[in-house]
């Protein structure tokens, strides 16, 4: 990044923060603190009203706004690609706002850059399948608004996906997307503990007028890491054929602990799992392209599952 772009970016960074330290600016641009001081001095000399508060940080004078910034070709392309990816995990409420924002961005671009994005749109596609909430009346925008405004939510929730609905009031603290599902993290007044709610298991929900207090020190990232660390994980060693290796790695729910190439070109991977039944059904989809080497419990489970599938279709081959 050249200095002009960095100085422009620094104004935008200050404009988007109430207050920010020199160290935070340095981390953002991956430069030294000394360089930050020089850049801030240069901006001040150029007439940008930067306020410095000792021991607190830097901010822009209230009311100052930078004129509209023209996007570079790379920046416009990056925003377009981000939008294409986000389309795959967003619900209709989020997609509508995203498309409106991208339309505004395109409207300020010169014709040659709009033509560039048009060609890019025709040449790029992002697809992946996820289990969606499209039929459940979910809307991410009101839920994320409840998180930000600290408003309670009333849920009718199917905790185990078995059709047994419980009614509870939740203090929403975070909204995250993992394992191809959106999850609401919040304090459950029924269970009196922090809980992870899958949005596809909402049988009904409502944002309440009541606001909640507390949980100032709660960290969504720390909560999820604690969940990961507390799971009882079991190791499994799987031999994967060269032909199936790319698919195996792309769908694998975790990073392999160990990998070893075999003489026939296949790969031996040691992975961790918290559910042998889930792992069994997933491995079955690979047919003979995978082989469980260890533990014996998983080998037995996979054999029984394969025999059950074969038995279901055995009558089709009777008398053949």
| CATH number of domain containing 35 | 1.10.10.10
The region of weakest confidence among 34-48, 51-65, 136-150, 223-237 is 223-237
The region of weakest confidence among 46-60, 97-111, 150-164 is 97-111
Domain identity same for 30 and 106: no
Across 282-303, average pLDDT:
94
Cα–Cα distance, 184 to 145 (Å, whole number): 12
**Beta-carbon count within 10 A of 73 CB:** 13
Q: Among the ranges 136-145, 183-192, 232-241, which has the highest mean pLDDT value?
A: 183-192
Whether pTM exceeds 0.75: no
Q: φ, ψ for residue 232 (rounded to 5)? A: -85, 100
pLDDT for the residue 69? 60
**Residue span of the structural domain in which 151 resides:** 134-224
Domain identity same for 207 and 140: yes
Would you say residue 129 lies in a domain?
A: no
Would you say residue 319 lies in a domain?
A: no
Domain identity same for 152 and 207: yes
Domain identity same for 28 and 79: no
Domain count within the chain = 4
Domain identity same for 219 and 239: no
User: CB of 235 within 8 A of CB of 270?
Assistant: yes
Pick from 166, 194, 224: which residue ends a domain?
224
User: CB of 148 within 8 A of CB of 154?
Assistant: no
Residue 131 has pLDDT above 60, yes or no: no
Q: Among the ranges 43-52, 58-67, 81-90, which has the highest mean pLDDT value?
A: 43-52
For residue 251, the domain's CATH number is 3.30.70
**Closest to 77 (Cα-Cα) out of 44, 124, 9, 20:** 124
Q: φ, ψ for residue 109 (rounded to 5)? A: -85, 145
Across 131-138, average pLDDT:
49
User: CB of 150 within 8 A of CB of 211?
Assistant: yes
Across 123-139, average pLDDT:
56
Domain identity same for 100 and 149: no
pLDDT tens digits, 168-178: 999 999 988 77
Domain identity same for 238 and 220: no
What is the separation, in whole angstroms, between the first and last Cα of the chain? 71
Token pair belonging to 217: 């020190």
Would you say residue 68 lies in a domain?
A: no
Cα–Cα distance, 202 to 186 (Å, whole number): 14
Is the torsion defined by CA of 163, 167, 172, 173 positive or negative? negative
The region of weakest confidence among 34-48, 92-106, 260-274 is 92-106
pLDDT tens digits, 195-253: 999 888 999 999 999 999 999 899 888 887 787 676 656 788 999 999 999 889 878 76
Q: Which of the four pLDDT bands, split at 50, 70 and 90, describes residue 54?
A: confident
For residue 151, the domain's CATH number is 2.30.30
User: CB of 59 within 8 A of CB of 20?
Assistant: yes
**Closest to 39 (Cα-Cα) out of 84, 68, 90, 3:** 3
Q: φ, ψ for residue 100 (rounded to 5)? A: -65, -40
Would you say residue 100 lies in a domain?
A: yes
Domain identity same for 148 and 215: yes
Cα–Cα distance, 147 to 144 (Å, whole number): 5
Q: Among the ranges 138-142, 203-207, 316-320, which has the highest mean pLDDT value?
A: 203-207
| Angle formed by the axes of helices 73-86 and 111-123, nearest 10° | 40
Domain identity same for 220 and 248: no
Got the DSSP string for 143-188?
Answer: HHHHHHHTEEEEEEEETTSSS-EEEEEEEEEEEEEETTEEEEEEEE
User: CB of 223 within 8 A of CB of 178?
Assistant: no
pLDDT for the residue 134? 47
Domain identity same for 146 and 206: yes
Cα–Cα distance, 252 to 249 (Å, whole number): 5
Is the torsion defined by CA of 302, 308, 313, 318 positive or negative? positive
Would you say residue 67 lies in a domain?
A: no
Would you say residue 317 lies in a domain?
A: no
Would you say residue 284 lies in a domain?
A: yes
Across 150-176, b (16+ Cβ under 10 Å) vs e yields ebbbebebbeeeeeeeeebbbbbbbbe
Cα–Cα distance, 207 to 129 (Å, whole number): 29
Domain identity same for 220 and 138: yes
Token pair belonging to 27: 């981390």
Q: What percent of the chain shows pLDDT beyond 90?
A: 40
pLDDT for the residue 166? 93
pLDDT for the residue 156? 94
pLDDT for the residue 38? 94
Alpha helices, H only, the chain: 3-15, 22-29, 33-45, 73-86, 92-107, 111-123, 140-149, 220-230, 245-251, 276-284, 296-312
Would you say residue 241 lies in a domain?
A: yes
Domain identity same for 140 and 218: yes
pLDDT tens digits, 8-37: 888 888 887 889 999 999 999 989 999 999
Token pair belonging to 288: 């003979």
């Amino acid at each position: 990044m050249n200095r002009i772009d960095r100085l422009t970016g620094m104004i935008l960074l200050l404009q988007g923060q109430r207050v920010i330290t020199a160290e935070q600016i340095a981390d953002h641009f991956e430069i030294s603190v000394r360089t930050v001081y020089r850049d801030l001095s240069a901006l001040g000399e150029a007439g940008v009203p930067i306020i410095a508060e000792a021991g607190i940080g830097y901010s822009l004078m209230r009311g100052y706004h930078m004129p509209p910034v023209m996007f570079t070709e790379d920046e416009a392309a990056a925003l377009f690609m981000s939008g294409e990816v986000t389309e795959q995990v967003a619900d209709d409420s989020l997609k509508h706002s995203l498309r409106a924002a991208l339309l505004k961005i395109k409207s300020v671009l010169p014709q040659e850059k709009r033509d560039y994005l048009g060609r890019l749109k025709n040449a790029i596609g992002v697809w992946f399948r996820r289990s969606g909430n499209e039929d459940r009346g979910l809307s991410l925008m009101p839920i994320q608004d409840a998180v930000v405004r600290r408003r309670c939510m009333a849920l009718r929730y199917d905790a185990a996906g078995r059709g047994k609905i419980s009614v509870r009031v939740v203090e929403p603290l975070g909204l995250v997307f993992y394992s191809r599902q959106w999850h609401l993290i919040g304090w459950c007044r029924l269970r009196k503990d922090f809980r992870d709610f899958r949005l596809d298991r909402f049988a009904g929900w409502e944002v309440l007028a009541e606001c909640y207090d507390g949980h100032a020190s709660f960290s969504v990232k720390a909560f999820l890491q604690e969940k990961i660390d507390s799971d009882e994980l079991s190791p499994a060693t799987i031999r994967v054929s060269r032909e199936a290796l790319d698919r195996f790695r792309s769908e694998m729910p975790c990073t392999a602990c160990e990998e070893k190439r075999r003489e026939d070109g296949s790969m031996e991977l040691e992975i961790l799992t918290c559910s042998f039944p889930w792992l069994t059904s997933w491995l079955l989809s690979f047919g003979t392209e995978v082989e469980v080497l260890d533990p014996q419990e998983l080998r037995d489970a996979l054999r029984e599952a394969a025999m059950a599938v074969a038995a279901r279709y055995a009558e089709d081959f009777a008398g053949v």
